Structure 1
Amino acid sequence: MQGIQIVLFTLLCVCGGEEDVMKPTFNIYSEFLKLQAVVEGLTQELSAARSDLTEQKSLVQELKQQVTALSESPKVAFTASMVSTQNSHRGPFPSETKLIFDKVLTNIGNAYNSETGVFTAPVKGVYYVRYSGSAFSAHDLGLSIFKGSSRFVSSYEYNSGEKNDQVANGAVMLLEAGEEVHMRLWIRTWIFVDYRYNYSTFTGYLLYPV
């Protein structure tokens, strides 16, 4: 009798142990939903990262194209003064007269003609053109930049009685390929020409092609 009780007790312990082993310790479906949410979140982040990468690649390509365009665009820049073996002047003239700055200091691209005093735009683009002028000996000085046959900007220095009078002006110009720019001295005025310091100059350069 005692042996049967021992066997029954043992079976109960075994059965009880199996029941504990087979009993689920977590909800599998709930954990699957959590894992699915994590995967979806990672998928969205990956998609956003891919979109950002595509945008960055597009920007890099655009910058490369801009750099290439700049490197291939013509280099245009000039500065010219006027030749003289001694301090002198040009003018006054009975009518407005084109000034020829025949002393070339810089002429990258060879777009400035020192024989005619004309700058010719080699390509359509935005250019900056400026000038400086010295009246020096107390005479009136009037200067203008001309775009083709049209006056663009000007400066005028009235005889002040002082020894050194200076004028300067400049402008940004949109020029078509082949358009010309030059300087003119106003009627009955003069401009001082020195042999050494280049007080009076005509300058221009290409900012960017369009």
Structure 2
Amino acid sequence: MDKLLQISTVFVLLFLFGEAVNPRLLRDRSPNGDTTSDSQSQYDDLVARFAELENELQSARDTINEMSRTMRFNERRIDELSESDDQVTRTISAIEERLGNGCRCTGNPGSGGNQADRSEDLDGWVSTVSRDKIRSLRRNFTRPDAGDRNRQEKDEEEEENIIAMGRAFASLMTRQVVDIKTELEESAVIQTTRRPQSESEVRPRPGKQRPAGFPFRRQRREVIEASVYEDIEDTFVDLVRSNKKCAFSAIRTQPLFGGGDPQVVTFQKTQANKGKSFEGDNGVFRASVPGIYYFSYTMRTYDHKHIGVALMLNSDPVVAMTTDASDRKVMQTQSAMLHLVEGDEVWLLIGPSEHFALYGNDFNYNTFNGILLYPNYIK
């Protein structure tokens, strides 16, 4: 700094001297005709010298201006580093405090706020969601229109006609199966009760005829017939209805930010929708076939934000995922197996917090999948 001042002082003096003896005035002054050639030469040298001094002075001014700009930039950098040093000190203090409390997840200090307090609040966010708000979200789900209901009723009517024919077939098969089974049982009883007899015992005794049938034969036949008919009917109905398949795979390509209220996670793309039971615009799967289903969903965090997404069955959370804020582009997957009845709704809910956010683009990070594993119709 002292050296810069000295240089500035020298150039200022040169500037003042240059103004006092202005070379432009010397150029305008006509030389006396009585001067000698030496005086004319000195005059020309003096003019050239002052011209050089003018150039050097202008260069010095440019250098001083550049150094001034550099000094101002360095001063701003020093102020920023001072603020950063204060922030690092606060971050270290927060980490030490959390380590002292036994927490191993320090979060991201750049996401704003008190990470320790916020993590404790977000870990149990599922239990704090208002049931009234969840029911309000479900009321916004669109229901099947008249056309969908008519198609569904027609499918159900065709299914019942097939089942009615199956029951008639089961009744016919039952009588035949029972006749065969009864004959086999009677033959087995005769074989087990027969004992060696002499020739005299083998001869028929006059006046004593063998009774037709065994005791309780009618009751036994009715029990067997009912059992066989039920087995055949259940098997046939299960075979007819088990042909129904149900599976879907949906993708969200847009980011989603949490707020003061919970939100339904909707989806912009549908890769598969066998059975037409998933509605991407609503983000809800509505079971049309009772049975055991498998669901999974994968989500990616927005930088410096948390994930808070739960799998919902109607109005109740089943499983959830929660991650701390990070700049490492965290992805997480959760899954569950559910026994659904017809009309059950399965959907995804993002928690009511501005710290929750999902990142999305055309690379298909966020997915929601479901498939029917075992249909269940037999009562």
Q: Quick one: distance in 2 between partners of 1:162 and 1:133?
A: 15
Count matched residues.
146
Query: CA, structure 1 residues 193+70, in 2 after alignment: closer, same or farther (shift >3 Å)?
Result: farther
Q: Quick one: distance in 1 between partners of 2:242 and 2:316?
A: 31
Query: 2:284 maps to what in 1?
Result: 118
Tell whether the 8 Å contact from 1:130 to 1:202 is kept in structure 2 after alignment.
yes
Q: Quick one: distance in 2 between partners of 1:72 and 1:207?
A: 10
Tell whether the 8 Å contact from 1:100 to 1:114 is kept in structure 2 after alignment.
yes
Q: Residue 305 of structure 2: SS of its match in structure 1?
A: coil
1:133-171 C-alpha deviation (Å, 9 max, x unpaired): 000413101110000000010010111x33211111010
Query: CA, structure 1 residues 190+136, in 2 after alignment: closer, same or farther (shift >3 Å)?
Result: closer
RMSD: 2.5
Structure with bigger gyration radius: 2
Tell whether the 8 Å contact from 1:157 to 1:166 is kept in structure 2 after alignment.
no
Q: Quick one: distance in 2 between partners of 1:72 and 1:98?
A: 31
Identity of aligned residues (%): 24
The higher-RCO structure (CA 8 Å, 6+ apart) is: 1
2:300 paired with 1:130: no
Q: Quick one: distance in 2 between partners of 1:187 and 1:205?
A: 29
Whichever structure has more strand as a proportion of its residues is 1
Q: Quick one: distance in 1 between partners of 2:258 and 2:240?
A: 43
Q: Quick one: distance in 1 between partners of 2:315 and 2:241?
A: 33
**Letter aligned with residue 349 of structure 2:** R
**Letter aligned with residue 343 of structure 2:** G
Aligned residue runs from structure 1 range 2-151, under 5 A: 69=239, 72-84=242-254, 89-151=255-317
Tell whether the 8 Å contact from 1:136 to 1:166 is kept in structure 2 after alignment.
no
Q: Residue 137 of structure 1: SS of its match in structure 2?
A: coil
Q: Residue 94 of structure 1: SS of its match in structure 2?
A: coil
1:27-86 C-alpha deviation (Å, 9 max, x unpaired): xxxxxxxxxxxxxxxxxxxx9xxxxxxxxxxxxx99xx59x72884311110101144xx
Whichever structure has more helix as a proportion of its residues is 2
Tell whether the 8 Å contact from 2:253 to 2:366 is kept in structure 1 after alignment.
no
Tell whether the 8 Å contact from 2:290 to 2:341 is kept in structure 1 after alignment.
yes
2:360 paired with 1:168: no
Tell whether the 8 Å contact from 2:242 to 2:375 is kept in structure 1 after alignment.
no
Tell whether the 8 Å contact from 1:112 to 1:119 is kept in structure 2 after alignment.
yes
Query: 1:36 maps to what in 2?
Result: none
Query: 1:191 maps to what in 2?
Result: 358
Runs (4+) off by over 4 Å: none
Q: Quick one: distance in 1 between partners of 2:304 and 2:342?
A: 40
Instruction: Structure 2: give runs of 5+ residues left out of the alignment.
Output: 1-190, 192-230
Q: Quick one: distance in 1 between partners of 2:263 and 2:311?
A: 12
Tell whether the 8 Å contact from 2:311 to 2:319 is kept in structure 1 after alignment.
yes
1:114-138 C-alpha deviation (Å, 9 max, x unpaired): 1211101111100011100000413
TM-score (norm 1): 0.63
